[in-house]
Amino acid sequence: MRNNVLVTGAGGQLGKTIQDLQSEKKNDIDFTFLSKAALDITNIDDLQACFASNNFNFCINCAAYTNVEQAEITPEIAYKINAESVKNLAEVCKKHNVILIHISTDYVFDGTKRTPYITKDIPNPMNEYGKSKLLGEQYIARILKKYFIIRSSWLYSREYGHNFYRSILNKVKTEKEISVTTDQIGCPTDVVNLSRFLFDLILDKQKPYGLYHFCDKKEMTWYDFAKSILAEKNIKNIKLIQVDHFKTLAKRPKYSVLG
């Protein structure tokens, strides 16, 4: 059977990358890409109508509220999108027998470990974004049997969206020096690699449903990551300053490598 896959939140960095790469699987997977303007996942009636008028067998949920700083100020929006709408989406998936692939985050952990977090480790988020994402995971696990929750970390696209990779390159255009923190360790993950992992997941009919971790395998600090971004672009005309703290509203885990 051909796979008929809905991608929600298709206007984000992951959704756009899946769209760019879809031709790699054109013989096996039909994709429907719906951005927020086409399908707002907070609207339950639109969700119902969309699933009723299509014959999807998978839904990759890329829709999320990902502004970690703003989530501290307006947590209710983060909860609405990352938790309550995910609950609705899970219920609609259940009704239509659609396998939900949901993306979650390393920020569900509190960062007190010093060895990679495994799926059995107990989450304990430190910020509102992480808390809202954890609640979304819990709803899915409660409502569905046929689901994959894929936790990833420090996602970046070279092409699209708001992410650390692009923030650093934007700063290069206007700043003479950039201060970057060494107080967190994680694994930057290229959305291209996550996209291909998701393709394999859809095509691998043997993989048990449940919770998985996926990240690129190089652990580093944000400072190390900034250094590697500048090296990749051969940028030398900027002073990169290593700091042990960068003031932010949200607390972030000191260590969030996923294993």
Ligand X SMILES: Cc1cn([C@H]2C[C@H](O)[C@@H](COP(=O)(O)OP(=O)(O)O[C@H]3O[C@@H](C)C(=O)[C@@H](O)[C@H]3O)O2)c(=O)[nH]c1=O
Pick the stretch among 34-42, 89-97, 196-204, 206-214 that binds ligand NDP (CB under 6 A). 34-42
Q: How far is the CB of 27 from ligand NDP (least distance, A)?
A: 26
The distance in angstroms from the start CA to the end CA of the chain is 33
Query: What is the chain's Cα-based Rg?
Result: 18
| 33 contacts ligand NDP (rule: CB under 6 A) | no
| 107 contacts ligand X (rule: CB under 6 A) | yes
Q: Binding partner of residue 42 among ligand NDP, ligand X, none, CB under 5 to 8 Å per kind?
A: ligand NDP
Pick the stretch among 13-21, 93-101, 173-181, 197-205 that binds ligand X (CB under 6 A). 173-181
Instruction: Find the binder of ligand X among 199, 252, 253, 255 (CB under 6 A).
Output: 252
CB atoms within 10 A of CB 49: 13
Q: How far is the CB of 2 from ligand NDP (least distance, A)?
A: 25
| 214 contacts ligand X (rule: CB under 6 A) | no
| 132 contacts ligand X (rule: CB under 6 A) | no
Q: Which of 65, 117, 129, 147 is labelled catalytic? A: 129
129 is catalytic: yes
Cβ neighbours of residue 191 closer than 8 Å, sequence gap 6 or more: 13, 14, 17, 155, 156, 157, 160
**How far apart, in Å, are the Cα atoms of 35 and each of 15, 204, 258?**
8, 26, 28
Instruction: With beta carbons less than 8 A apart as the criterion, state whether 55 and 104 touch.
Output: no
Token pair in block for residue 245: 């703290």
| 167 contacts ligand X (rule: CB under 6 A) | yes
Residue listed under structure tokens 């960095």: 13
Token pair in block for residue 193: 């690699």
| 155 contacts ligand X (rule: CB under 6 A) | yes
- Report DSSP state, residue 175: -
Residue listed under structure tokens 């700063």: 171
Binding residues for ligand NDP, per CB under 6 A?
A: 8-9, 11-14, 36, 40-42, 62-66, 81, 85, 103, 105, 133, 152-155, 161, 163
Active site residues: 129
